[in-house]
Structure 1
Amino acid sequence: MIDSKNIGRQLRALRKAKNLTSQELADKVNVSQSYISRFENGRAIPDIDMLERILHALDTNLSSFFSTDIENVPEDLIQLIDTVKTLSPEARIKLNEFLKIVKD
C-alpha cells in the first residue's frame, strides 16, 4: 500500500530543497496551491501523471523519487547534486579533484 503521508513528506522535502514555495510549484505544474498542499499534507495521493508533472517541475523523475528517501537527504546535498548535474564533464572532473583535495 502506498503511504500518502510519506509521499507528501518527500514531495515537501524535495520542494523545499529546490527553494520553491508551494505556490511556485503549483504555478509550474499549473494547479492550485491548495492542490499541492493536499499532497504534501498526506490528504491525497497524486495520480501517476500528476506525480510525474510535479517531479518534472522539481527536476527529478519517478525512479529517483522512489529510490531515494528524500526526507533524510539534507537540503544542501540535494542542491549540490542539482548543481553538479548542470556541469560539463570536464567541470565535474575538476570539481571531483577539488573535493578530493578538500577532503584530505
Structure 2
Amino acid sequence: MTTDITLGFIGGSGLYGMSDLVEKEEIEVDTPFGKPSSTIMTGMLNEQKVAFLARHGKNHTISPSEINYRANIYALKTLGVQRIVSISAVGSLQDHLAPGNIV
C-alpha cells in the first residue's frame, strides 16, 4: 500500500490531530504486529502530503505501556513514510531542564 507520503507525524499527549491538514483522508492499516494506536490521517500540509498518527489513540485511551509501537511504525512505513516527527509532552526531575527547554 505504498503511497507518495514520505513525512509522518506521531502526536503524543495533547496532540490528537492536525487541524491544518487539507484534503484529509483516514486510512486504516493492518500490520503483522496488530493494529496501530489509531487510524492514520493523511492530507496536504503546505503542499506536501503527510501522515498523522495519534500515539495514545484519538481520545487518549491508550496508556504508554500499552502502545503498540511496532505496529505504529510499521503502519507509517507501509504508507511510504521515510521520516517521522514525533511530538511528546514529557517532564523531568533535573533542575537544569526547565519547562520549555528542547532536549
For normalisation by structure 1, the TM-score amounts to 0.31
Say which one has the larger Rg. Answer: 1
More strand by share: 2
Normalized per residue, which structure has more helix?
1
**TM-score normalised by structure 2 residue count:** 0.32
